[in-house]
A and B are shown apart, each in its own frame.
Chain A
Amino acid sequence: MNTASTTSEVPIASSWLPPELIGVATIAVLGAAGFFLFPEDLAFLTRLIGIAFLVLSLDLVTGYCGIATLGQAALFGIGAYAAGNACIAGVTEPFLLLGVGAAGGALTGLLSGALITRFRGLPQLVISIAFGQLVAALSNKLSSITGGSDGLSGIVPAPVLRTFSFDMYGRTAFVFSAVVLAVVFALLLRFVRSPFGLLCRGIKDDDLRAQMIGAAVYPRLVVMYGVAGAVAGVGGALTAITTGVVGLDSVGFERSAEAMVMLVLGGAGNLWGAVVGAVLFQVFEHIVSATNPFHWMTLVGLLLILIVIFAPRGISYGATVAWSKLFPREPAR
């Protein structure tokens, strides 16, 4: 049993199957369920998957490295704009577009990470906000690239693998997104268990000690930011491909704040938490905001307050703890 990083380890990985396989299988099952049970809501589910990438990306920097940021949507939005522009310029192959989005997000991540991770605490938070707002202001201004407040439209990607074209029911879009999510999720599960990922956890728990054992803290955080940027960029590119438009809301502050809420709802420092949080929050939003957007804000506010008081480490953590108490796998330590 891994005892080195007990603060954020969730007892879910202690099983006979590799966690990557469990991840892919779970997403496949849930995806199939969504596909067959809610054929009317595929567009919503596709958008949900796109945002899940943003929350995963935030989890990498906040949950695994302890960096508080409220500007993560900048990475997502730049990925979306990059893919959108590439598509309009003639690069219509979907997987290539994902690559473009990932590259755009990774570059932005490295750049903003180099700035943000130099600080700690409040200065860090404010710089992250300022960076996000800077990107948002620029996207509004550079309307030749971003379409300004009208948004970037006319994104028509080629059929996936030259066979499955994007239909108006959003079936291809949904399956494509779900597959990409499963692959990226499995890669990330592997990544956070790598020596690099474990060291990032060490930095989060005690960066001074990490420095003392010879870890180069700053470069690692910047690289982690780059990886997070790539993940967010893929999410942005997916959203651009599947919806055909990119709006200013993809880079806005609200998007960043919502991602943070989703992450903490699910549980930071755990990739499962990121996905669970993204799904729960958006389904909840989808249902409640249909009635009145302001009731929605009241409810989310109340929910957040209750979580901070009763389940400060997220519901997925609380759920796994409850589960392992109900069904103990090994004698109590």
Chain B
Amino acid sequence: MRTIFSIVVDAVAYGMVLFTISIGLSIMMGLMRVVNLAHGAFAMIGGYLASYAIRSMGASYVVAILVAVVGTILISAPLEFLLYRRIYRKSDALTQLLLTIGITFFIIGMANFVFGPTLKSIPLPAALSGPLDIGFRMLPTHRVFVIACGGVIAVALWYLLERTEFGVRLRAAVDNSDMAESLGIRTELIYSATFALAVGLGAFGGVIGAELLPIEPFYALRYMVVFLVVVSVGGAGSILGALSASLLLGLADTTGKYLAPEFGEFFFYLAVILIVFLFPNGLFGRAH
């Protein structure tokens, strides 16, 4: 019983980290149809910036998160302007793969050049580092914080996409960008804004998830596949899909690692193959 409980808490926390990072990628892939393998690299930049802000500049956790999100958006803006604009929508998967793998390699090399090859920790504030008493059990506060963050982001994104002017324009651009453009929606601006949103979410996820996915130079390569898998399992562009896929895969991975650690990621990828086989467009995705 105790094992089951801790598996569930860990699985949900891990799933929420996956969700927070992957939802940005999912939105980007739903809208711009870019298989952005560099998304993990942006999460990594966020982690590095937060770590630097706390450890070298003595900033508080909240400030560090702000620095990470804003800094990553600023760093990625020229990349969007110079590179990503070429591969929105029309270009084939192979070109996108190569360009974004290239960007990933470049960021890894630069991150290492600037911050060094060691593992970077992001110290938690006292409020988040202890256990939390929920009446009948003690929970690690950080896990609860991560789960709450994931929930808030899911609701906020849902509101943004379904209830705001921006969301209407964005969905119009997704459904038919040519028509949206002829109606006077500036799709290019929408694309840039969405890119910034996606990158910012990635950076935020990278910071709050650093306990579970530690920040190191190969972060971008190591977890890139996982984020891509979450999006593909959930269905690109779907919040509900990304959420359920993250939780499902988090559960598969955590359970596998608890019960049969020597199998590594075997069960995770077995689950992936089964789900993609049964739902080629993702759990909640639409056929394009």
> Nearest chain B CB to A227's CB is how many angstroms away?
21
Chain A residues in 8 Å Cβ range of B86: 309
Contact of B104 among A295, A301, A308 (CB under 8 A): A301
Cβ contact within 8 Å between B102 and A137? no
Cβ contact within 8 Å between A137 and B266? yes
Please tell me if A130 contacts chain B, counting CB pairs below 8 Å: yes
Cβ contact within 8 Å between B280 and A300? no
Cβ contact within 8 Å between A304 and B102? yes
Please tell me if B147 contacts chain A, counting CB pairs below 8 Å: no
Instruction: Given A126-B276, A129-B225, A305-B83, check contact A121 B93 (CB 8 Å).
Output: yes
How does the 8 Å CB contact mask read for A273-313 relative to B, with 1 for contact and 0 for none?
00000000000000000000011111111111101110010
How many residues of A are in contact with the other chain, CB < 8 A? Answer: 44
Chain B residue nearest in CB terms to A119 = B280
Complex: A123 Cα to B83 Cα, angstroms:
25
Complex: A99 Cα to B280 Cα, angstroms:
36
Please tell me if A193 contacts chain B, counting CB pairs below 8 Å: no
Cβ contact within 8 Å between A305 and B276? no
Chain B residues in 8 Å Cβ range of A129: 225, 228-229
Cβ contact within 8 Å between B272 and A126? yes
Could you tell me which residues of chain B, from 66 to 110, have a CB within 8 Å of some CB in chain A? 83, 86, 93-95, 97-99, 101-110
Complex: A308 Cα to B38 Cα, angstroms:
15
Please tell me if A138 contacts chain B, counting CB pairs below 8 Å: yes
Chain B residues in 8 Å Cβ range of A305: 83, 99, 102-103, 106
Could you tell me which residues of chain A, from 261 to 276, have a CB within 8 Å of some CB in chain B? 261, 264, 268
Cβ contact within 8 Å between B95 and A308? yes
Cβ contact within 8 Å between A298 and B113? yes
Instruction: Given A130-B273, A303-B102, check contact A298 B109 (CB 8 Å).
Output: yes
Please tell me if B217 contacts chain A, counting CB pairs below 8 Å: yes
> Nearest chain A CB to B256's CB is how many angstroms away?
10
Complex: A301 Cα to B265 Cα, angstroms:
27
Cβ contact within 8 Å between B106 and A126? no
Cβ contact within 8 Å between A123 and B265? no
Please tell me if A115 contacts chain B, counting CB pairs below 8 Å: yes
Please tell me if A242 contacts chain B, counting CB pairs below 8 Å: no
Chain B residues in 8 Å Cβ range of A298: 105-106, 108-110, 113
Cβ contact within 8 Å between A134 and B98? no
Cβ contact within 8 Å between A312 and B95? yes
How does the 8 Å CB contact mask read for A232-275 relative to B, with 1 for contact and 0 for none?
00000000000000000000011001001100100010000000
Could you tell me which residues of chain A, from 128 to 177, have a CB within 8 Å of some CB in chain B? 129-131, 133-134, 137-138, 140-141
Please tell me if A92 contacts chain B, counting CB pairs below 8 Å: no
Instruction: Given A261-B98, A304-B101, check contact A141 B266 (CB 8 Å).
Output: yes
Cβ contact within 8 Å between B102 and A302? yes
Complex: A18 Cα to B210 Cα, angstroms:
58
Cβ contact within 8 Å between B93 and A68? yes
Please tell me if B264 contacts chain A, counting CB pairs below 8 Å: yes
Chain A residues in 8 Å Cβ range of B263: 137, 141
Contact of B276 among A130, A141, A253 (CB under 8 A): A130
How does the 8 Å CB contact mask read for B228-261 relative to A, with 1 for contact and 0 for none?
1100110010000000000000000000000000
Instruction: Given A297-B109, A298-B113, A301-B107, check contact A133 B265 (CB 8 Å).
Output: yes
Please tell me if B194 contacts chain A, counting CB pairs below 8 Å: no
Can you spell out 13 A-B residue pairs with CB atoms less than 8 angstroms apart?
A119-B276, A119-B280, A123-B280, A127-B277, A129-B229, A130-B272, A137-B265, A137-B269, A294-B117, A301-B107, A302-B106, A308-B99, A309-B83
> B: which residues have CB within 8 A of A?
29, 35, 83, 86, 93-95, 97-99, 101-110, 112-113, 117, 217, 221, 225, 228-229, 232-233, 236, 262-266, 268-270, 272-273, 276-277, 280-281
> A: which residues have CB within 8 A of B?
62, 68, 70, 115, 118-119, 121-123, 125-127, 129-131, 133-134, 137-138, 140-141, 253-254, 257, 260-261, 264, 268, 294-305, 307-309, 312
**Which 4 pairs show the lowest CB-CB distances between chains A and B?**
A298-B109, A304-B102, A301-B106, A301-B105
